[in-house]
Amino acid sequence: MATAEILVIVYGSCARDPENDERYGAEQRRVEITLRPTLPSSATTPAKREQWLWTFLPNLALDMKHNRNWRCEFCKNRARETYWMNAPWMHLNPPRVVSYVHHVCDAGAGPCAERLRQINAEVARQTGLPPAANLPPTDQVFPLSASCAVCHNETEKSRKNLKQCSRCELTRYCGVDCQRADWRRHKVCCAAVKEVKWHWT
């Protein structure tokens, strides 16, 4: 069965990181996740593979969002939103996708959203692909990155007791009830994860 190669690089920082641009780049805290999902047999052309990709990636969002107690990549606030920049090459064999996931306080408005726009333009320049769309400003408050992927409980007690899925070692839950409730959704990501490398010292 044909598979795709997806490399997801999740960027963020933790509370004790200094606030400066030097923490962006090779030294930055990040996790690199290699996924090898099986392509559906109907995905026979680059266009159809791209169509499949836009159903596969949104399903990963919860797994990437709740994998660690991230701070905003650009300020000291705790991260609540993730922003994805995708560079897909679906004509290759196997098809290849590099996804950059940024953990931020607010991806729609303010100085951190502006930093994202700058990085977005830089990634587009380097890859030759069109820049990802900017998120529109919204008043909605999103759950913390380090809350249960199902119930989003934000209490300190819940956060300290979060447990990772033992198979993929990514997605976090407050307990077995939430983990069971999420299995139908999460198993697609869980089965596709081949390697997880933490750059977190």
Residues forming the site for Zn ion (CB under 5 A): 72, 74-75, 77, 105, 112, 148, 150-151, 165, 167-168, 174, 178, 190
Three-class secondary structure of residue 199 per DSSP: strand
Cα angle value 28/80/85 (rounded, 5°): 55
Nearer residue to Zn ion within complex by CB, 35 or 53: 35
State in angstroms the smallest separation of the CB of 72 from Zn ion: 3
Pick from 84, 58, 83, 78: which is nearest to 144 by CA?
78
Structure-token match 């977190």, residue found: 200
Written as six digits, the tokens of 7 are: 């490399």
Nearer residue to Zn ion within complex by CB, 86 or 171: 171
The radius of gyration computed from the CA coordinates of the chain, to the nearest angstrom, equals 17
State in angstroms the smallest separation of the CB of 149 from Zn ion: 7
State in angstroms the smallest separation of the CB of 169 from Zn ion: 7
Nearer residue to Zn ion within complex by CB, 75 or 129: 75
- Which uninterrupted H or E stretch holds 86? strand 81-89
State in angstroms the smallest separation of the CB of 188 from Zn ion: 10
Nearer residue to Zn ion within complex by CB, 88 or 153: 153
Q: Are 68 and 147 in contact (CB under 8 A)?
A: no
